[in-house]
Amino acid sequence: MFRSLLHVFQVKELRHKILFTLGMLAVYRIGFWIPLPGVDQASMVEFFQTAVESESAAGRAAQYVAIFSGGSFSQSTIFGLGIMPYITAAIIFQLLSSVSPALKRVQEDGPSGRVKIQEWTRYATVGLCLVQGIGWLSYIKAQNLVMAQMAGSPVWWLTALAALTAGTVFLMWLGEQIDRYGIGNGVSLIITAGILTGMPSAILQLAQSFDKNGADGPNAMGMLMLAGGFVLVVGGCVLLTVAQRRIPIQQAKHTRGRRVFGGQRSYLPLRVNHSGVMPIIFASSLMIFPSVIFEAIASAAKNVGGWWTVPLVKMGDWFQMGQFPYIVFYIAMVFFFSFFWVTVQFNPDDMAKQLRNSGSFIPGLRPGPRTAEYLEAVIGRITYVGAGFLAIIAVLPMVVNTSLGISFAVTQFLGGTGLLIVVSVTLDLLQRIEANLLMRNYSGFLGGEDLKTTSRVRGSKG
């Protein structure tokens, strides 16, 4: 491993890419120390700390959104919206391209079509920033978190909204620079960096809750169980990310003159978790709304009193994070969005046509509709398994939080959206570094001898 790390910095181009990426991520983190103008930072820290400690719906919503914004809502900075508006816009256009024939034709135009969609995505990002920024500023104003001399001032609204929008646009530009001059997917690396910055505080919080008697916190055995569980969950996330169902593909033989071409055997890889982390993102986002709504209704019902308010209070309790009805609905939504995303992204008919046009076929199946039916059946079965693993990983932090009484800020690193994103982005980054090393005849992270000392790849003339 150390030898492979040394090889990384021996390659000049790869070294420059890695250092550039680290520099851009450092700039990204510096932005979280630049506060929004006119916001009372001390009052905001106290407000959200109280909300998180009480584990209210608003506090959990703030913790969840903080995963994608890269920081805490208790720090209202110019990067407060994070990169999430850009991701939302990209997802919207990705979904629209699958249902809109006109947009699909633009996407299939090649590089020029992708440039157009990228430009439209940027415009949509600015629009989403304005909408989300107005909502966020209205919320903090309603909670009296704005300085008295600035509250209600049109100058403050324009300045704060422009700062939030400019911050997200700058992060979008930063991600594109990493894509162009660095290594890895820029937007994914920005999200991953934001998630990992919360790990030291979670470890510190867990250490402070340590109790050798196990009365008010986890004891030594509990700490070991949490560490072992973390390792097992990370291993499961890795397997879930790389797992494939390989369908054998036979290429038809073609005779041209006296020479025979084709006839090779290969395979068609179908990922078990084809939808990635998107089902958890959709399910978590939508489950925030009933939690907040029913909690508000239950709070109002308690103040009113009366026998008819009992069901409303019960509904508020049922939809609290970690409760059995909440977990059941959450799992159901993970399964639903897993199949929905696969249906949108994977088209068995198009795949069967591509195989037929390339002169390939699945042994034992006729090209065309029969192949499409087989692919649809296979992707349905593996999606069911992948959705099951996703559901387990998604609900594990809630189960640990409820059963062991450990803060959700700690248990979110035992599973859920953040851990899946970190694992998938890290694997992608390692694969890109591996490819760069192998291109330059260096052994990568997967082991093996230095390719300089092994047999070289021979050309057609030996």
Question: Are residues 301 and 386 both part of a single domain?
Answer: yes
Vertex 75 angle, CA 71 and 76, to 5° = 105
Contact (CB, 8 A) for 219 and 211 = yes
Q: Is residue 28 part of a domain?
A: yes
Tokens representing residue 60 in the block = 């959990």
Q: Is residue 391 part of a domain?
A: yes
Domain with residue 265: its CATH number is: 1.10.3370.10
Quote the number of domains for the chain.
Answer: 2
Question: Are residues 241 and 319 both part of a single domain?
Answer: yes
Question: Are residues 242 and 282 both part of a single domain?
Answer: yes
Q: Is residue 180 part of a domain?
A: yes
Q: Is residue 47 part of a domain?
A: yes
Question: Are residues 116 and 71 both part of a single domain?
Answer: yes
Examine the fold and report which residue of 389, 414, 439 is the final residue of a domain before the chain moves on: 414
Domain that holds residue 59: 1-197
Question: Are residues 227 and 332 both part of a single domain?
Answer: yes
Question: Are residues 108 and 167 both part of a single domain?
Answer: yes
Q: Whole-model pTM? A: 0.79
Q: Is residue 242 part of a domain?
A: yes
Question: Are residues 352 and 239 both part of a single domain?
Answer: yes
Question: Are residues 263 and 306 both part of a single domain?
Answer: yes
Instruction: Give pLDDT tens digits for 147-183.
Output: 877 766 888 889 989 998 999 999 999 999 999 999 8
Q: Is residue 313 part of a domain?
A: yes
How do beta strands 360-361 and 244-251 pair? antiparallel
Contact (CB, 8 A) for 191 and 86 = no
Question: Are residues 175 and 57 both part of a single domain?
Answer: yes
Question: Are residues 186 and 289 both part of a single domain?
Answer: no
Question: Are residues 408 and 268 both part of a single domain?
Answer: yes
Helix 278-304 to helix 324-345 angle (10° resolution) is 150
Examine the fold and report which residue of 414, 434, 457 is the final residue of a domain before the chain moves on: 414
Q: Is residue 91 part of a domain?
A: yes
Q: Is residue 208 part of a domain?
A: no
How do beta strands 253-256 and 360-361 pair? unpaired
Task: List C-alpha distances in Å: 436 to 25, 127, 178, 424, 454.
Answer: 21, 38, 16, 19, 18
H or E segment to which residue 187 belongs:
helix 186-196
Per-residue confidence in pLDDT tens, the chain, 462 aa: 566 677 777 778 888 899 999 999 998 888 878 888 888 878 877 777 776 666 555 566 666 666 666 555 556 788 888 888 888 888 888 888 877 888 888 887 878 888 888 899 999 999 999 998 888 888 888 878 888 777 668 888 899 899 989 999 999 999 999 999 998 888 888 888 888 887 787 788 778 877 776 666 777 787 888 888 888 888 888 888 888 889 898 887 766 766 766 667 888 888 888 888 888 878 877 777 777 777 777 777 777 766 666 777 777 777 777 788 888 888 999 999 899 888 888 888 888 888 888 888 888 888 888 999 999 999 999 999 999 988 888 888 888 877 777 777 777 776 677 788 888 888 888 888 888 887 776 656 555 444 443 333 333 333
Question: Are residues 295 and 189 both part of a single domain?
Answer: no
